[in-house]
Amino acid sequence: MKILIAYDGSSCADSALEDLRRAGLPRQSEAIVLSAAKLWSPALECAGVGEETFVEALPIILEKVESLAQWARERVQSYFPDWVVRAEARSGAPASAIIKRADEWRPDLIVVGSHGRSAPGRFMLGSVSQKVVTEAHCSARVARGRDSDVQAPARLLIMVDGSPDAEAAVTMVTTRIWPADSEARVIIAIDDVVSEVIDQIEGGRAWIHETLEAAGARLRAAGLTVSSLIRKGAPKSVLPAEAASWGADCIFVGARGLSRFERFRLGSVSAATAARAHCSVEVVRSGGRAE
């Protein structure tokens, strides 16, 4: 597996590194730890920082970025001794640098911290995380570390809707290595409009149960204890609430969803879930890597 890990030295980025140990990642993987910094901004100009002063400070700034990447590389390597881990530093807007490097290297997964800020009843997603989740061409994990024993059973909440990306989310879970007694909960969330549409289609309700059963069978075959739920409400609200109630370690959700029902889709759900959830969220794209 190829994993691109964004690191900027913040507490959220540190939590993302710690979260890797609970992500079920393969023992044999290749990773790049990438640190990036925007070296110039209008704020510096407004503050009276002249070109000469900036040029003098440039080597120090670049050295700091390289040092961050190297420190994080060593930490990741200590967690995963069998991985091949490299450190890279780039200049430029961090989100753009991450996406550009991903397009070049074609990883299976990008890992970013949430840069969450408390708000009434929810989290805000940082601009870098938001851009990566919505614009990257591969799967992305918005990681929020939890105070859990690395070997403790994991709780994984998986949203399904019959779309290719939702199917890929189930596949992603089945290919990981989870601690013994880990649990997967498969969930379908249905708002009022979709519920009405389903009731008007022959076999609509049966399709829901068939979709849950099919996903559950695959997850059980991977050694997970499986439960399933049908919840009424908007998925972007239902998923974070269910994850918090159940104590989920991570939510897996398709980046784009389009089932046989026109409005029963995940497209606008993934970023909203990543912003609102109090646990890690993995946004999965079918195929994993960029096309």
Residues 190 and 236 sit within 8 Å (Cβ to Cβ): no
| Whether pLDDT at 11 is above 60 | yes
By residue count, the chain amounts to: 291
Token pair belonging to 106 = 């074609």
| Whether pLDDT at 114 is above 90 | no
| Whether pLDDT at 156 is above 60 | yes
Q: So what's the pLDDT on residue 247?
A: 95
pLDDT digits (tens, 9 = 90+) for 54-104: 444 455 667 888 999 999 999 999 999 999 999 999 888 889 999 999 999
pLDDT digits (tens, 9 = 90+) for 271-284: 889 888 999 999 99
Sequence-separated (6 or more) residues with CB below 8 Å from residue 150: 21, 22, 179
Q: So what's the pLDDT on residue 58?
A: 52
Token pair belonging to 138 = 């591969």
Q: Identify the weakest region by mean pLDDT among 28-37, 160-169, 244-253, 275-284.
A: 160-169
Q: So what's the pLDDT on residue 127?
A: 80
Residues 258 and 286 sit within 8 Å (Cβ to Cβ): no
The confidence band for 248, taking pLDDT boundaries of 50, 70 and 90, is: very high
- Would you state the torsion angle of the CA atoms of residues 167, 173, 175, 177, taken in this order, to the nearest 10 degrees? 180
pLDDT digits (tens, 9 = 90+) for 117-150: 433 333 345 788 888 998 999 999 999 977 778 8
pLDDT digits (tens, 9 = 90+) for 227-247: 999 998 888 899 999 999 999
Token pair belonging to 64 = 């700091």
DSSP letters, 12-51, are HHHHHHHHGGGTT--SS-EEEEEEEE----HHHHHTT--H
Phi (first) and psi of residue 129, to 5 degrees = -60, -45
pLDDT digits (tens, 9 = 90+) for 174-216: 999 999 999 999 999 887 766 766 766 666 678 888 999 999 9
For the entire predicted model, the pTM comes to 0.85
| Whether pLDDT at 50 is above 50 | no
First and final C-alpha spacing in the chain: 16
Burial of 207 (0-12, 13-18, 19+ CB in 10 A): middle
Residue 264: Cβ within 10 Å count: 24
> What is the average pLDDT across 154-160?
96
Highest mean pLDDT among 9-13, 176-180, 283-287: 176-180
In the chain, the domains with their CATH numbers are 1-145 (3.40.50.620), 151-291 (3.40.50.620)
Q: So what's the pLDDT on residue 61?
A: 66
C-alpha dihedral sign at 94, 95, 96, 99? positive
**Identity at 275, one-letter amino acid code:** A
